[in-house]
Structure 1
Amino acid sequence: MLTKEELPECPVATTVALIGSKWKLLIIRNLLQRPWRFNELKRDLTGISQKVLTDSLRSMEEDGLITRTVYPEVPPRVEYALSDLGQTLKPILDSMVEWGNAYKQM
């Protein structure tokens, strides 16, 4: 996780540093729908390795974009959800959906 002082000056570069990987964007896409469990995300994100998913979730949690909730059950249940800050990414992903659909129509 980069500190605020370590983040790039350019706001676009800052956004890319926080959510710029393919997998982070797809994780956010899923979490915009509802909270997900780790194995649900792993199954849905075809091709993602367990390590990349784990690292991405940890990084986004450290950056304050997602929350991780552990339920005291046997076996323990863990759910990932977008934080309030993470929810503010919705307009960005909505714009990406709109642009992607328009591109497909060309």
Structure 2
Amino acid sequence: MPDPAAFNRSPCPLAVTLDILGDKWSLIVIRDLFRGVNRYNDFLKSPESITTNILADRLKRLEEHGLISKSAYQENPLRYDYALTKKGRALGPVLREIVHWANAHYPDTVKPFAVK
């Protein structure tokens, strides 16, 4: 996990969170994990069409920050299942609020999905 004292921009909680989750893809990967997606090829089936190199980078970054974990389910070739950690699952209420905000202000968005 990255050194918590080494902030990219500042110790501001919003800046720190944006440094970890503020790109185009990280919250989509986390959303999919909440939906039960847990294998690399299944993330690629998401309607947002993430590319393989970006997916690999985001999975690695989310694991480095302790939001997800991986465990091998196949040895040859080596393949992993991914899961939210306790820290990652703690984002559930945040995602719910983002969904509610989007639904309230952008009525054509998909209505709330279940975040466990």
Matched, 1:46 2:48: yes
CA contact (8 A) 2:39 2:80 kept: yes
Q: Structure 1 18/45 Cα, relative in aligned 2: closer, same or farther at 3 Å?
A: farther
SS at match of 2:25: helix
User: In the comparison of the two structures, how many residue pairs are matched?
Assistant: 106
Aligned residue for 1:89? 91
Choose which of 56, 69, 72 in structure 2 pairs with 1:70. 72
Q: Structure 1 102/49 Cα, relative in aligned 2: closer, same or farther at 3 Å?
A: same
SS at match of 2:81: strand
Q: Which runs of 5+ in 1 are unaligned?
A: none
CA deviations over 1:51-91 (Å, ceiling 9, x no partner): 10000000100110001110245554411111111000111
Q: How does 1:11-22 map to 2 (within 5 A)?
A: 11-22=13-24
In structure 2, give the amino acid aligned to 1:99: W
Post-superposition offset of 1:44 = 1.2
> TM-score w.r.t. structure 2 length?
0.81
CA contact (8 A) 2:74 2:80 kept: no
| Distance (Å, rounded) in 1 between the aligned partners of 2:68 and 2:22 | 15
Compare relative contact order (CA 8 Å, sep 6+) and give the higher one, 1 or 2: 1
Give me the identity figure in percent: 36
Q: Which runs of 5+ in 2 are unaligned?
A: 109-116
Larger mean Cα displacement after TM superposition, 37-46 or 72-81:
72-81
> TM-score w.r.t. structure 1 length?
0.88
Aligned residue for 1:5? 5
Q: Name whichever structure is richer in helix by fraction.
A: 1
Q: Structure 1 47/93 Cα, relative in aligned 2: closer, same or farther at 3 Å?
A: same
